[in-house]
A and B are shown apart, each in its own frame.
Chain A
């Protein structure tokens, strides 16, 4: 089946730095979703992308739907402590509406 590859696996940054992470697939996706999961919580939808080339912002977060439909990027500007968590990319498999998830990027902010 389709797989989503996220990188980096984890990040250690200083507060105030910008963050960039990406998600790639060997096959085409028609929708890209970015979720954040805080410890002990369920994933929360951050941004949904529906069109190749689309660039969408949600506060300090910006995500882009790659033009090839095989990748997506999430950027966080001026990171703050509450940005700590796991960021998952996700998308529906082409054969049905079931959503598959990447393995996540774990964001840590150094004191």
Chain B
């Protein structure tokens, strides 16, 4: 299984600012994803981070609000732009290694807990 780390682990931000969250995997993985988990809720997929091309966003999420980078097979960033209190959530990075023999199995980072004042 992949070991995934995220930075920062938590942050408190002012309305209107932006925060970039980093996700690092300890091995090369095929797929990386970004999820949002609002308080007391389940996980909602924001986008699939594609290596070398633009991310694929889910309905309700747009690139201008959540720009994503994936420069290589072990690293991705998610930016939460022009934040409002409604963006207060846990943001989770996950990875899936299609070459690892366990397809459709995702591993998660510890999450970034964001509070917007």
- Give residues in A with beta carbon < 8 Å to B: 30-31, 33, 35, 40-45, 48, 88, 90-92, 97-104
A-contacting residues, B26-46, CB 8 Å: 31, 33, 41-43, 45
- Contact present for A44 and B105 (CB under 8 Å): no
- Contact present for A41 and B42 (CB under 8 Å): no
Q: How far is the CB of A21 from chain B (nearest CB, A)?
A: 14
Q: How far is the CB of A20 from chain B (nearest CB, A)?
A: 20
Chain B binding surface SS class: loop
- Contact present for B111 and A92 (CB under 8 Å): no
Q: Which residues of B contact A35 (CB under 8 A)?
A: 108
Q: Which residues of A contact B42 (CB under 8 A)?
A: 88, 101-104
Q: Which residues of A contact B113 (CB under 8 A)?
A: 40
Q: Which residues of B contact A40 (CB under 8 A)?
A: 111, 113
- Contact present for B31 and A45 (CB under 8 Å): no
- Give bound CA distance, A41 to B1, whole Å: 17
With A97-B96, A101-B42 already in contact, the answer to whether A48 and B108 are too (CB < 8 A) is no
Q: How far is the CB of A48 from chain B (nearest CB, A)?
A: 5
B83 at the interface (CB under 8 A from A): no
Between-chain CB contacts (< 8 Å), 23 pairs: A31-B104, A33-B104, A41-B110, A41-B111, A42-B4, A42-B92, A42-B108, A42-B110, A43-B108, A44-B108, A45-B105, A48-B105, A88-B42, A88-B43, A90-B106, A97-B31, A98-B48, A98-B58, A99-B45, A99-B106, A101-B43, A103-B41, A103-B42
